[in-house]
Amino acid sequence: MSTGTAAALSNMGLTVLSEEEELFRASVREFAEGEVRPRVEHMEKEAKLDADLIKQCFELGLMAIESPEEYGGAGSTIFNAILAIEELARVDASISVFVDVHNTLVTNAFMKWGNDELKKKYLTQMASGKVGAYALSEASSGSDAFALKTKAVDAGDHWLLNGQKLWITNGNEAEIFIVFATIDPEAGYKGITAFIVEKGFEGFSVGKKEDKLGIRASSTTELVFENCKVPKDNVLGEVGKGYKVSIETLNEGRIGIAAQMLGIAQGAYECALRYTAEREQFGQAINNFQVVQFQLAEMAVEIEAARLLTYNAARLKDAGKSFLKEAAIAKLYTSRVAEKVSSKAIELYGGYGYVKDYPVEKFWRDSKIGAIYEGTSNMQLQTIAKLIMGGK
């Protein structure tokens, strides 16, 4: 552990960053401002990520932040991963969640559950140019994740997968998918197994892309498995233990979503600050009025609280300490803050805030998903309640 990282960990829960973290944040912000921002409007209209931008994410190392150096990654921390996710979401939530899912869900699942052969094969590819996706949700299994119906049958020298997945982030761009299926529906969660599916596998196809309210450039698709042949070696973790893979990966993924929501709130807030300094009414800038100042102050307080919660959860994870409750609290709170701050920004813009010529309506649309994916707000409340009651 570097001196800078150790110093940062000693300030656990604070927004104080080490020198190397500050430099990393600055580099991501430069990329977000210089390369992402000019493309946001076009990507939003086309509902598609810019291919050159995806390539740059790999070239800059943003797709392998925590991945070990031996596999082509940076060997860094989840804290740096969430700094990147936050900075990208401050400009565009779609590219942010693209990077987020690849890092906090897919890469981390391989790091924790993959054997040496799988890590060498797939983490290397995911660091150099192949996008990852995480396929758990189905029509009948959202919050009740283990009610999934996609089935895997042992066919001797391979597995056969049949079923359908819905709402899969990075579905169009991904070439490597972690897919959860049951080997025995009667066994409940103990039948769930995680499989690694490549885009070119026989019997696998990507279905329709959803037409969404927000994060429109991020592809959210269905996946279809029709006697999809998966090699026997492509089980991630143990057969029948996929529930552990999903639960533990999603726990970390919630910190990433919190960072995304934090970035959205920060982006909307900065827009509101600029606009209220420029907009004149009654002969002066509207930020001269106390009622506007107080609203901006409230927004700043909420964002700082959200940042503390998010950073604290990441610091705990990097320190090897329990972070489940803190991750749930961070995701719950930041999703509320993102929606609240972006909504208030629209109001401060007045009529201009309600039209697509100005950026704040997009921040609001992008914020809404935070209360839904990777565990709804109600599920976060349930998790928090169980933990504060001693697991009852």
pLDDT band with cut points at 50, 70 and 90 for residue 11: very low
**Interval 163-207: pLDDT, tens:** 999 999 999 999 999 999 999 999 999 999 999 999 999 999 999
Query: What is the rounded distance in angstroms from the CA atom of residue 123 to the CA atom of residue 29?
Result: 26
pLDDT at residue 346, rounded to an integer: 98
pLDDT at residue 146, rounded to an integer: 81
pLDDT at residue 391, rounded to an integer: 63
Is the pLDDT score of 12 beyond 80?
no
pLDDT at residue 13, rounded to an integer: 43
- CA 385 to chain CA centroid, Å, is 24
**Interval 313-369: pLDDT, tens:** 999 999 999 999 999 999 999 999 999 999 999 999 999 999 999 999 999 999 999
**Interval 121-149: pLDDT, tens:** 999 999 999 999 999 999 988 888 788 99
Q: What amino acid positions are annotated as catalytic residues?
A: 374
Is the pLDDT score of 251 beyond 90?
yes
Domains and CATH numbers, the chain: 3-131 (1.10.540.10), 133-241 (2.40.110.10), 244-388 (1.20.140.10)
Region of poorest pLDDT, from 67-71, 75-79, 386-390? 386-390
User: In angstroms, what CA-CA distances link 323 with 67, 255, 314, 319?
Assistant: 20, 9, 8, 10
Cα-only R_g, the chain: 21
pLDDT at residue 14, rounded to an integer: 54
Is the pLDDT score of 309 beyond 80?
yes
What integer best gives the mean pLDDT of the chain?
95
pLDDT at residue 252, rounded to an integer: 94
Region 15-42 average pLDDT: 96
